Amino acid sequence: MNRKLHRILAVAVGLGIGLAAQVFADWPQWLGPDRNGVVPGKAPKPWPTAGPAVAWKAEVGSGFSSPIIVGDLVLLHHRIANEEVLEAFDRSTGKSRWKSPQPTAYTDDFGFDNGPRGTPAVFAGMAYTFGAEGRLTAVNVTNGLPVWSLALGRELRADKGFFGFACSPLVVSNRVIVHVGGEGGAGIVAVNAKTGAREWQSTSDEAGYSSPVAAVVGGKQRIVSFTRAGLKLLEIDTGKVVGEFPWRARQNASVNAATPIVGPAGIFITTSYNTGAALLQWQPAGGLEPVWSGDEAISAHVATPVLKGAWIFGFHGRQEQGAELRCIEAATGTVKWEASRTGMGSVLVAEDTLVVLLESGELVLAEATPDSWKPLCRAQILGTGVRAAPAVDGGLLVARDRSRLVAVRISP
């Protein structure tokens, strides 16, 4: 981490700011600085026909974890043999700077992938990972040396579900918060970021595959969690539930995977399996009420949509049945356009431009407009089977497929 980052961090600590997104200006966690898929800075410009310049490539292990970017490092949590490895790559060259391994015996019941699912988070010089077996680990981001490690999945007798533990850790108010789905009211767990000591646990909900965010709701900063049962609002200091809204498929073979979006219109949640989306608003007397809901807007199977102004852009439909990219009006759920036959993918937004990485490995820039689907340029940057969202910082986009990590320059 550079000197500027240390100065920003020192000021933030002095002011009592706890949310990691408010400290870093890089891409230090799931879905970026503000955990919402919004890329800071200027929008990328369309590249030449040959595609964006490739800065470097690296061979990596298995997993669905997204890369993150902090200072001069790119971090990736991936599996090599019988270890889940947090590895730091040099941002400029792609050379490995350090590796921090943890043993694992996780086996996917459906044979998809045995690697980690959750994306690391960096805060105050520490990197936090949550592995497929439910192991929460903290390491020193400078050298990868371990600080503490907790086998939360085993200790709290949590069911790994269909596809293992997938929550990307949230760091807020010096706490690391993850969805565990453990017994005895350990659905959501907060531990001390420095020591790993358990501070609170809340709800009896199964974990699902979504990750929490911290946002101001009802005038107070709260934890916004989309568990397998539905949306929960929690107090940061105690874990007390102050609002909830049930939202899940009626069938057991289902997932809640998309991260909630908190915007001016309310809290947006979405899931697949004939369930759809809902926009929720906080009531002055407490609790959440739907503004609209249903399966006609966006039913996100895996990827989290992104909010741009009054519009939400996201993938609608089941991954195995053929998904499509859509634009809807946030306030009403009205579908403005749909781009059929795109397949599944992930979507970010930079100013007025969508950055779309498809499961096919194709990277697309498009206009973030409610008028129609307007691609600007496209390039094949990876192989097929891309499930992880990319990281974008300073014109550098880093993404992974099943075996490679690639860094491309999407801005001149």
What's the confidence (pLDDT) of residue 224?
Answer: 98
Q: Report the DSSP pairing between strands 335-339 and 324-329.
A: antiparallel
pLDDT, block means (10 residues), the chain with 412 residues: 37 32 69 97 93 98 98 98 98 98 93 93 97 98 98 95 93 98 97 98 96 96 96 97 92 87 97 93 92 94 96 90 92 96 94 97 98 97 96 97 97 74
In three state form, how does the secondary structure of 50-119 look?
Answer: CCCEEEEEEECCECCCCCEEECCEEEEEEEECCEEEEEEEECCCCCEEEEEEEECCCCCCCCCCCCCCCC
Provide the terminal-to-terminal Cα distance of the chain, rounded to the nearest Å. 24
Strands of the sheet with 230-235, listed across from one edge: 213-217, 220-226, 230-235, 241-246
Where do runs of H (alpha helix) occur along 122-170? Answer: 152-155
What's the confidence (pLDDT) of residue 136?
Answer: 98
- Domain 3-409, architecture per CATH: 8 Propeller (2.140)
In three state form, how does the secondary structure of 315-336 look?
Answer: EEECHHHCCEEEEEECCCCCEE
Where do runs of H (alpha helix) occur along 142-254? Answer: 152-155
What's the confidence (pLDDT) of residue 171?
Answer: 98
What's the confidence (pLDDT) of residue 340?
Answer: 86
How far is 230 from 256, CA to CA, in rounded Å? 8
What's the confidence (pLDDT) of residue 339?
Answer: 95
Among 387, 322, 321, 309, smallest CA distance to 349 is for: 309
Q: What is the pTM of this model?
A: 0.92
Q: Report the DSSP pairing between strands 220-226 and 324-329.
A: unpaired
What's the confidence (pLDDT) of residue 182?
Answer: 96
CA 82, distance to chain mean position in Å, is: 25
Q: Are 101 and 85 in contact (CB under 8 A)?
A: yes
Residue carrying the six token digits 């634009």: 327
